[in-house]
Amino acid sequence: MNETFNNLEKSLIHIRTLIEFFANPDNYALPVDVIDFNLYQENLEELQNDFANLDFDDELYNPNDRQMILADLFEYIFLGRGFYSIGNLRNNPERKEFFVRAILHFVNLLMCFETVTIDVDRRNALLDQLTETIESMEDEPGFEELRDYEEPVGLPNSATKALNKYFDKLLPKTAGGLWHELLVYIFILRHNLGYVLPLLLHQKIYSKTDHLVPPDFLVITKDKRIFGIEVGRKKEIQSGSFSLRTAIPTASVDTENSRNSDRCPICKKWILFCPVVIDKFSDFNSDISRTEIKCLGIDNQTGLRNCTVFTDEQIVNGECSYSKYSRNATQQPHTQHNHSDGKHYHYHCVLENVGGEKREEIIEAQDATAIKTHLPHYSGLESLLVNE
């Protein structure tokens, strides 16, 4: 993403150059252009005063809201500017497919960011690098405590509430806050649920006297209905207030049970979207009739192997870093172990954490029921589902 960030920096440099150029008296033919210079200086100073009265600069970077600001910047990249790219070249469908792929790969990057919850050395290296470019970070309350902390942080029942809260501010909306919003956008797009308007950067809509708190998205369906879409539960009062004041019904999507946020109970890291899932979900000609994909064997609908990256032998031996394992205990020997509890694990983590004999039993069983992965899916949008 270096080119993306370089271009974003160029835009900021361009804006800074404009401001500084016109603030420099050397760029005016004084005293002839003294009026132009004075007008600019007068309004620049007043603008700076206005910003100060609004605490405007704090909305662009401050330790207290940093996780929200970082998330907003990524959402601006994808949904404020980047999404224009899918409308180029006469609305070429392939560009939408590439956009969906980009979101899925980016979500995987966000999940990779969160390995610093567990990996202390990596977390400290990140903190050290951040302080090289943002020196004031070292003086923030909580920084030194986090730098000295040698256990997992940011997980349920880990660290203190204050330390978890500070850690949360280092990354953009941790624990899926950002990636669910992006995934819901491409889910609506991929399933042709309507025309989707992101309001993620406009969490308040103002009038002169009051404001509305809108949902995360508005969707205009092909049959001329309009819905609000709120990502995540526990916002029923907010959604109800918006609906009462606008007569726009609002649906909440379930993120907790979406299978897009499976954290392996063994290693405590998120399970990423595999290349097969990314290829299938971003291929608009590919039919999606179920959300679960078996990693082993043949797809009955297509007659092709379920996995196009690894062989069955490689998968059952744990060579794929993406495969999930989920199995309840049965009478079969290969399911009788501590991880046959219905939870979703990295399959390779299960193999690494059972005894040698049990590992061989699991591998030999080639359990097509247990070894799986999932496509992005959200419940709560059933009323919008239409045939493509």
AA identity, residue 94: E
In this prediction, residue 90 carries a pLDDT of 59
Whether residue 387 has pLDDT greater than 80? no
Is the pLDDT at 157 greater than 50? The verdict is yes
Q: What is the pLDDT of residue 383?
A: 66
pLDDT of 237: 76
Interval 68-95: pLDDT, tens: 999 999 999 999 998 888 876 556 778 8
201-205, 238-242, 383-387: segment of lowest average pLDDT: 383-387
Per domain, the residue ranges of the chain are 186-256, 275-374
pLDDT at 386 over 60: no
CB 344 within 8 A of CB 295: no
- Summarised one tens digit per residue, pLDDT across range 305-318 is 999 999 999 999 99
pTM: 0.93
Helix boundaries (H) for the chain: 2-23, 34-54, 66-75, 88-91, 93-113, 120-133, 143-148, 161-168, 177-190, 236-246, 275-282, 312-316, 347-352, 356-365
Provide the pLDDT for residue 226: 94
pLDDT digits 0-9 by tens, 232-276: 877 777 778 899 999 999 988 989 888 898 999 999 999 999 999
Average pLDDT, the chain: 92
Q: Which two tokens stand for residue 47?
A: 């603008």
